[in-house]
Each structure stands twice: as C-alpha cells, then as structure tokens.
C-alpha cells in the first residue's frame, strides 16, 4: 500500500483540519505526529488532545464507478452499490466497480482498530477519516503512541462478489483462527410477543415448537428469551438479577426446563443501562428507560461481568447483548454520521479513544461469557469481530410489517454475507410467522436464510401455525441445522449491483428467484 498523498489533523472537535507537514516517516501538525509504515499501519501520537486525522490518496477513480461501503453497526436497509457521491460516508471499507473494465478495487482497515474509521471517495481520489475522539471531545493521548488503523488495498479478485470476500478475509487476517462454528438456529419470541404478555409457559411452548420442527436433528436448536423478562419492561435496564414476579420467578428453573424439552436456553439483556441511578452515569446519554452507564468506569465493567457470570450460573447457553452502541453514542447507526455523537461531553476516562473503550467492553464481555454463545446486537461489527460468536448485521425485521423484513433482512444478508464465518456468524434477524404478515413472503426469506448457512431464528406465533407453515419451517430449520448450502459452494446474490433487495441468488448448484413484493408491489408507506 503506497503512502498517502496528504495528511490533515484536527485537535478539537470543532477546529478546522490543519495540513500536516511531511518529514521522516510521517507528518506533523499542531503537536500531533502521524506515522505510516510500509505495511499500512497508521500510528498517531500527541502530547495533548487529538480529534481526527485524515489521510488523502490522490488516485483517480473512474467517474462511472459503482461504490459500496459498510455501516457503523447494523445496516438499515441502506447498503447498496451507488454512483460516485463524494459526501457519502463509507464506514470501515469501500469497493469501486468499474463497469467499463469489469474490475473491482478498494481499500479498508483491519478489524479491531483504535479509531472509528470511514472513507469518502470522489473522482480525484479517496480519503480515510480516523475518528480519534473520546465521546464528543478530543482524546488526551498524553504522549502515547496509538495504532489507529492498519490500512489495506484490495485488488480485483475476478468479480465484485469475490473481491468483497477477499477484502473481508484480508481485514480479518490478524484474528485468531476461528474454530468451525456449529449452526446457530432456534426460536426467539420477540416478533410475535414484542415483550408483552409472555411468561415462562410461553417460553417453554416456543422451545417445544422448535424442538418439534427440528424433528430429532442431532444439532440442538436454541430457544431465546428476548426482551421483556425483567421487571423494567421493554428496552429497560438492569439490575439483571431476577425475572418479573409471577411471570419469571426462577430464571435458573426456566433455563433448566428449556433444556429438559431438548433446546438450548438463551437470554437477552441491555448491559449499559440501569434503572437505578448511581455514580457511574454516562454524561453524554440519557434514556427514558433508565440511566446509561459510562463504560470507561472499571465498576461498570465489573457489573457487566457479574451479569454474564449470573446468566451462566442460571444455565443459559446463549446471551444476546443489545443497545450498547445507542447507550454509548445516544443514537443509532444512521444518525451517527461523521460526528458519531454530540459534541461537548467525554467519558470518565479521557485518555482513550471511543473505539478503544468500546473494544474493551466487547473484550470483557467475551472473557466473562467463557463458552456461552454471544450474540452482539446494536454492536459495532468491525470492533466486535472475533469477540462475538454471532452478529446481528441488520436492523430489526418485523412480525407486523413484511416490508420491514424485506428492507432490513434481505439487504443485510446480501451485502454483509462475506463477513459470515470470517468476522462472526452472520445473523440477518428473525423470520416471523405471525397472523399480521404474509407467510407466502416470509417463507421465501426463511428459505434464503436457511440456504445461506447463517444464523436462523424463527419467531412463531402459535396462532399462525398451519400445516403448510409447519412443513416450511421444519424444512428450513433442519436445513439450517445442517449448515445450509455452504457445502455446495455457498450462496451469492446475482443482481446485487442493481438493487438493495437482491431477488436472484445462486444457492449451491442452482439459481433461485425470489419475489419480495406483494402481488401489487411494495408498500412505500411501510419504509
């Protein structure tokens, strides 16, 4: 990778970018040193504060190129190949496909960087933006040398699909070898219960249904108790030490009963929100459901570790941790943009970048969970890579509105599938089976997810079960428990250059065409 053409630095979050002067192995401006190695490693040092560093490469990009990037955390139905859009923020990596030559190239950063990294691409070249802030203010490095990112260039691998696969593999090359993961398949009650009116009896019914549909498959399915089991209500915070009296009186007993049925018990929680006010509150974020916690306090990490140990002691074999990006930044991915969060606040510990602080949280959760299967939801995939077993890569599907499942689920699966089994097991979210959504459409999403070999969770309202839906669900669950079509070469969206919801897929040795629209077309009011 050749070194940048220019480098700029920003001290305070509202300061202008200052051009840095080249000298030796790097650049210097405003008391900030930026070093570049032949291997693409970017090291930043500063005696005082630093907010951002921009590295610019003046290398022309063909004007007709189609550009693809990733997302800060989950995607929101917005991943797509687009014509050149200079202001478009491209988190983590980008590819450019030249339709005239048929070649695809790009650049990105290795997983687990020390900064939030994004790109912009224009006809004259491309820029890497290293966000080194601590919350909404500059990080006080105090002379520390921080490896902010390891930059990689991607060459054409034959097709855009193969090039993206090769790019993700390169960015993950420093992770330890990932053991062959067992299929992650099971039931999740969220998309028919939505946290209301369910109890242990309903959870055990979910477990019995998914075990029945698995029909004796040697790989046991999971049954996940999603949001709504603790006294705070939906999307609330901890303490996470008991269930709702009268509904979940004995969480260890619930886990044991799920195992007795033949499924593996799973549990949802929101680690960085508390219903109790305390000394470790987050200066940059408040929530109507509780107090967001500042994860730079060691005491907050102690609380999270204790929660994971408790869930494991209760007997849960899977834990889904959710909302941490929102609780850190005060916003979800689409609203983060280039600013990430509001200016004017910082963490209790101002000496580490936000990326370093978030990465430390994921590392602590992984260590505390031990052999428990971890699902990261609303987590930053490029930081969570190697630290979660499963990553929810798209925003919520829906048991009430099919269009949301098409928009979020299909898009996430298509454009982030190359991350599967390299960064984590990909989870494009649940397949609903509910009276409010058309089964003739949901069954197609079920078929695609099952074939993909990614995580498959089903949300089955008992009132929606029919002989047909049971046949479809049983086939899909058993196919997913067997690893999908991965053994036959995997799956590939063949029309992904032209749509946000690919409908033509190569799966194994055949081509399958899906119809994601109702007979009269999609409903724009639902998007």
pLDDT under 70 in the chain at which residues? 284-288, 486-489, 520, 522, 524-527
Give the residue from 266, 273, 195, 196 showing the smallest Cα distance to 239: 273
pLDDT 10s digits, 383-400: 999 999 999 999 999 999
Tell the residue number behind the tokens 């999270």, with chain if given: 304
For 200, counting Cβ atoms within 10 Å of its Cβ (0-12 exposed, 13-18 middle, 19+ buried), the class is buried
Give the residue from 431, 435, 508 showing the smallest Cα distance to 472: 431
Tallying the residues shown for the chain, one arrives at 527
pLDDT 10s digits, 344-382: 999 999 999 999 999 999 999 999 999 999 999 999 999
Give the residue from 526, 500, 505 showing the smallest Cα distance to 79: 500
Give the residue from 377, 361, 372 showing the smallest Cα distance to 313: 372
Whether 353 contacts 132, CB under 8 Å? yes
For 159, counting Cβ atoms within 10 Å of its Cβ (0-12 exposed, 13-18 middle, 19+ buried), the class is middle
- Residue 48 is given by DSSP the state S
Q: How far apart are CA 88 and CA 149, in angstroms?
A: 21
Query: Model's pTM, two decimal places?
Result: 0.96
Omega cis (within 30) before 492: no
Give the residue from 391, 351, 388 showing the smallest Cα distance to 373: 388
- Residue 214 is given by DSSP the state H
Q: How far apart are CA 220 and CA 122, in angstroms?
A: 49
Give the count of beta carbons closer than 10 Å to the beta carbon of residue 278.
Answer: 12
Q: How far apart are CA 453 and CA 426, in angstroms?
A: 9
From first CA to last CA, the distance across the chain in angstroms is 41
Q: How far apart are CA 338 and CA 78, in angstroms?
A: 16
Query: In the prediction, which pLDDT does 14 show?
Result: 85
For 199, counting Cβ atoms within 10 Å of its Cβ (0-12 exposed, 13-18 middle, 19+ buried), the class is middle
Query: In the prediction, which pLDDT does 490 show?
Result: 82
Give the count of beta carbons closer than 10 Å to the beta carbon of residue 435.
Answer: 11
């Amino acid at each position: 990778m050749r070194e940048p053409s220019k480098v700029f630095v920003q001290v305070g979050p509202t300061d202008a970018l200052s051009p840095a002067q080249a000298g030796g192995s790097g650049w210097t401006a405003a008391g900030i040193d930026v070093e570049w190695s032949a291997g693409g490693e970017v090291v930043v040092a500063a005696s005082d504060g630093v907010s951002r560093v921009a590295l610019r490469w003046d290398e022309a990009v063909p004007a007709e190129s189609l550009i693809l990037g990733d997302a800060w955390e989950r995607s929101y139905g917005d991943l797509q190949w687009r014509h050149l859009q200079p202001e478009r923020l491209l988190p983590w990596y980008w590819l450019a496909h030249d339709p005239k030559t048929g070649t695809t190239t790009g650049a990105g950063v290795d997983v687990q960087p020390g900064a939030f990294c994004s790109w912009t691409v224009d006809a004259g070249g491309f820029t890497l933006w290293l966000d080194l802030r601590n919350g909404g203010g500059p990080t006080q490095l105090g002379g520390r040398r921080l490896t902010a990112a390891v930059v990689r260039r991607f060459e054409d691998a034959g097709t855009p699909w193969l090039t993206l696969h090769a790019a993700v593999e390169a960015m993950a090359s420093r992770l330890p070898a990932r053991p062959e993961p067992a299929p992650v398949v099971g039931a999740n009650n969220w998309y028919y219960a939505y946290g209301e009116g369910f109890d242990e009896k309903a959870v055990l019914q979910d477990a019995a249904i998914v075990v029945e549909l698995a029909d004796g498959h040697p790989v046991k399915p999971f049954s996940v108790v999603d949001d709504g089991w603790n006294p705070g209500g939906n999307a609330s915070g901890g303490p996470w030490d008991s269930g709702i009296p009268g509904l979940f009186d004995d969480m260890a007993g619930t886990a044991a009963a799920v195992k007795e049925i033949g499924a593996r018990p799973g549990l949802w929680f929101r680690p960085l929100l508390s219903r109790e006010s305390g000394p470790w509150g987050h200066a940059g974020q408040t929530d109507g459901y509780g107090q967001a916690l500042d994860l730079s306090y060691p005491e907050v990490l102690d609380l999270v570790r204790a929660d994971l140990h408790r869930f494991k002691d209760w007997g849960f074999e899977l834990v889904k941790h959710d909302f941490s990006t929102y609780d850190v930044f005060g916003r979800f991915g689409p609203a983060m943009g280039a600013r990430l969060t509001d200016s004017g606040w910082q963490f209790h510990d101002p000496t580490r970048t936000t990326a370093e602080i978030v990465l430390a949280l994921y590392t602590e959760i992984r260590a505390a969970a031990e052999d428990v299967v971890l699902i990261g939801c609303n987590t930053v995939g490029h930081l969570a890579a190697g630290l979660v077993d499963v990553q929810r890569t798209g925003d919520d599907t829906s048991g009430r509105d099919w269009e949301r499942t098409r928009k979020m689920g299909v898009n996430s699966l298509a454009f982030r599938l190359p991350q599967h089994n390299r960064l984590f097991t990909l989870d494009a979210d649940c397949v609903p089976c509910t009276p409010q959504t058309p089964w003739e459409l949901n069954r197609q999403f079920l078929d695609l997810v099952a074939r993909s070999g990614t995580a498959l969770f089903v949300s089955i309202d008992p009132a929606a079960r029919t002989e047909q839906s049971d046949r479809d669900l049983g086939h899909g669950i058993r196919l997913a428990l067997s690893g999908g079509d991965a053994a036959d070469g995997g799956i590939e969206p063949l029309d992904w250059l032209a749509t946000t919801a690919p409908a033509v897929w190569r799966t194994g040795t055949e081509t399958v065409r899906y119809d994601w629209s109702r007979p009269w077309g999609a409903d724009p009011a639902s998007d």
